[in-house]
A and B are shown apart, each in its own frame.
Chain A
């Protein structure tokens, strides 16, 4: 476990907190950063009941075996990344949450053939919502985000957005025409991707919010 220190968002220099919109409901796209997520990458065999039980014990969630799906208990979400790989995510937690989550997982997994890696430091989470959120992402991403193809809430996918690697998670259904996505990208792509998104959303009207 590392000592806690002052973590800084990769978008800190953009001063987003000072640019939040007072009338976000008027914009067709709302953009915001979900600050400093706790994230642990998990590898293991989902066919092994002991692995599933260990995750249930440590996180309160079982790893989804269906591709591109998410399991959540409201606090921790497990995103499917590959046939033997998941990402455990927690938002709005204390700075120590990630190390604690990883320690709990290591205790629960014991001698099982599994791996846990703390990766929160590399991820930046950009939240996109609004009636035109889908159109903005589809400008630079080959995925079909229509619920018929993507699956709606509880689905995730790894792809690229304007050449930057992304992990996309739909967090709100958009039945009211307001779908919402959490978009994870690597730290070094964050500045580029934020500017790209703000530019791409410009034609629909974009508001910066604190999600």
Chain B
């Protein structure tokens, strides 16, 4: 089980959290102008990197607030926790490929 440091409550067990998928996916400003392929890209297609992944988490069983997490998908190491609406801090992720 991961230990995730909620920016509000502190370090807690993963079972208190809910994963919200990849972070920093912006909703298209004008969805009607999109082609089907572009819309499918926005709705369905997500990165599946080996290494650094930026994702959203919600502390469902705690303070119920959203935040962003930078995680290494190979080692499961949590590299950074940063607030919603902000860009990730400078990271030096390990490269696998």
Q: Are the CB atoms of A67 and B10 closer together than 8 Å?
A: yes
Q: Is the interface of B mostly helix, strand, loop or mixed?
A: loop
A100 within 8 A of B: no
Which residues of A have CB within 8 Å of B46?
none
Q: Are the CB atoms of A85 and B61 closer together than 8 Å?
A: no
Which positions 32-70 of chain B face chain A at CB distance < 8 Å?
A: 61-65
B16 within 8 A of A: yes
A67-B9, A68-B9, A82-B8 as given contacts; A159 in contact with B63, CB under 8 Å: no
**Residue from the list A81, A142, A160, A165 in contact with B63, Cβ < 8 A:** A81
Q: Are the CB atoms of A159 and B8 closer together than 8 Å?
A: no
Residue in B closest to A142 when the chains form the complex, CB atoms:
B13
Residue in A closest to B6 when the chains form the complex, CB atoms:
A67
**Residue from the list B8, B15, B61, B64 in contact with A67, Cβ < 8 A:** B8
Docked complex Cα distance between A141 and B1 (Å): 14
A158 within 8 A of B: yes
Which residues of A have CB within 8 Å of B63?
67, 81-83, 85, 158
Which positions 125-156 of chain A face chain B at CB distance < 8 Å?
A: 142-143
B24 within 8 A of A: no
Which of under 10, 10 to 19, 20 to 34, or 35 or more describes the interface residues of B?
A: 10 to 19
CB A155 to nearest CB in B, in angstroms, measures: 11
CB B7 to nearest CB in A, in angstroms, measures: 9
Which positions 51-80 of chain A face chain B at CB distance < 8 Å?
A: 67-68
Docked complex Cα distance between A165 and B15 (Å): 11
Q: Which of B10, B13, B63 has the most CB of A within 10 A?
A: B63
B94 within 8 A of A: no
Q: Are the CB atoms of B9 and A157 closer together than 8 Å?
A: yes
Q: Are the CB atoms of A142 and B8 closer together than 8 Å?
A: no
Which positions 1-41 of chain B face chain A at CB distance < 8 Å?
A: 1, 8-10, 12-13, 15-16
Residue in A closest to B10 when the chains form the complex, CB atoms:
A67
Which residues of B have CB within 8 Å of A67?
8-10, 63
Docked complex Cα distance between A165 and B62 (Å): 9
Which residues of A have CB within 8 Å of B9?
67-68, 157-158
Q: Which residues of B contact A (CB under 8 A)?
A: 1, 8-10, 12-13, 15-16, 61-65
A-B contacts besides A83-B63, A157-B62, A158-B63, 13 pairs, CB < 8 Å: A67-B63, A68-B10, A82-B63, A82-B64, A85-B63, A142-B13, A142-B16, A158-B61, A158-B62, A159-B16, A159-B61, A160-B16, A160-B61
Q: Which 7 A-B pairs have the closest CB atoms?
A: A142-B13, A82-B63, A160-B61, A158-B62, A83-B8, A165-B61, A67-B9
12 contacts between A and B (CB under 8 A): A67-B9, A81-B63, A82-B63, A82-B64, A82-B65, A83-B65, A142-B13, A142-B16, A157-B9, A159-B12, A159-B16, A165-B61
Q: Which residues of A contact B (CB under 8 A)?
A: 67-68, 81-83, 85, 142-143, 157-160, 165
